[in-house]
C-alpha cells in the first residue's frame, strides 16, 4: 500500500484531524463516496445533521429550517429513532429526508463486517417502521468505513454520503462564530455540509445555524435535501 493511500485512510478515519474543507485529492481517491453535488451546477446547498433525533435540539433545527423554507437530510441513529419517534416523524412530516447512521453510532474500525452490517440493518428497521424510503442513504459514524464494509453496503443499495464541508460544531474549541464561518467561507453550490443535532453541538448550533441559513438564503441559494 502506498504511503499516500495510508495517509488518506487515516484522514478518513479520524475526525480530529480532518480539515473543514475536504481536499479534492481525497474525493478523487475515494470515488465511491458521495462528497458533493458540484456536477449538478445548481445554486443549492445541502445541509445534513447527524446523530439525532434529540429532544429540543432537533426540534430547534426543524423550526429554523421552517423559518427559511429550507430542507435538509438527517442521518439518524436507530436508538434515537426508537426513543423519540415523534421527533423522527416530525422530520418526515416537514418534508426532510433521512438516512441511516447505524443503530448505536457504531465505529466501523472496531467492528467485524457481520456485526457492523447487522447494526446498520437494525437502524434500517427502525426507519422502515415510519417510512418506506425511496433511496437508501448511509453515513458512517466518524466517517470510518473499510473497503469490505463499503462493498457490502453498496450491494445492499446504500449510497454512502460523506461531506464537502464540516461545521465542526461538536468541537468544544470551536466557537459559534467560527462554526458559522467554517460553513459560510468554505461552501459553494453543490456542497454537502455537516452539522449535528446533538447535545454536544447545541451551543454552537443555536447561534451558527440561523446565521448560515440567513446568509445562503440572502445569496439566493436553495437549501435542499439529498
Preceding amide of 53 cis, omega within 30: yes
Pick the catalytic residue: 50, 164, 169, 197? 50
Q: What's the CA gap between 182 and 124, in Å, rounded?
A: 31
Question: Which ranges in the chain belong to alpha helices (H)?
Answer: 3-13, 24-29, 57-67, 78-83, 85-93, 113-128, 147-155, 176-186, 202-218
Query: CB under 8 Å to 126, separation ≥6 — which residues?
Result: 76, 78, 81, 82, 103
Q: Coil, helix or strand for 192? A: strand
50 catalytic, yes or no? yes
Grid cell at residue 219: 445569496
Pick the catalytic residue: 84, 105, 196, 197? 196
Give me Rg for the CA atoms of the chain. 17
51 exposed, middle or buried (CB, 10 Å; 0-12, 13-18, 19+)? buried
51 catalytic, yes or no? no
Residues carrying an active site annotation: 50, 196
Amino acid at each position: 500500500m502506498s504511503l499516500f493511500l495510508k495517509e488518506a485512510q487515516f484522514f478518513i478515519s479520524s475526525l480530529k484531524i480532518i480539515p473543514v474543507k475536504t481536499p479534492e485529492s481525497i474525493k478523487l481517491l475515494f470515488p465511491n463516496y458521495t462528497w458533493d453535488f458540484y456536477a449538478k451546477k445548481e445554486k443549492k446547498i445541502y445541509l445534513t445533521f447527524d446523530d439525532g433525533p434529540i429532544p429540543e435540539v432537533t426540534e430547534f433545527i426543524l423550526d429554523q429550517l421552517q423559518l427559511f423554507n429550507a430542507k435538509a437530510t438527517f442521518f439518524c441513529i436507530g436508538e434515537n429513532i426508537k426513543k423519540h419517534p415523534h421527533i423522527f416523524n416530525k422530520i418526515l412530516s416537514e418534508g426532510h429526508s433521512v438516512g441511516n447512521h447505524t443503530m448505536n453510532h457504531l465505529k466501523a474500525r472496531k467492528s467485524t463486517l457481520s456485526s457492523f452490517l447487522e447494526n446498520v440493518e437494525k437502524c434500517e428497521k427502525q426507519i422502515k417502521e415510519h417510512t418506506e424510503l425511496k433511496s437508501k442513504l448511509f453515513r458512517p459514524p466518524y466517517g470510518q468505513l473499510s473497503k469490505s464494509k463499503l462493498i457490502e453496503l453498496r450491494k445492499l443499495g446504500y449510497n454512502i454520503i460523506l461531506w464537502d464541508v464540516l461545521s465542526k460544531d461538536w468541537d468544544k474549541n470551536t466557537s459559534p462564530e467560527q462554526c458559522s464561518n467554517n460553513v459560510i467561507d468554505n461552501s459553494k453550490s453543490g456542497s454537502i455540509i455537516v452539522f449535528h443535532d446533538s447535545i454536544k453541538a447545541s451551543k454552537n448550533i443555536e447561534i451558527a445555524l440561523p446565521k448560515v441559513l440567513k446568509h445562503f438564503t440572502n445569496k439566493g441559494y436553495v437549501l435542499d435535501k439529498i
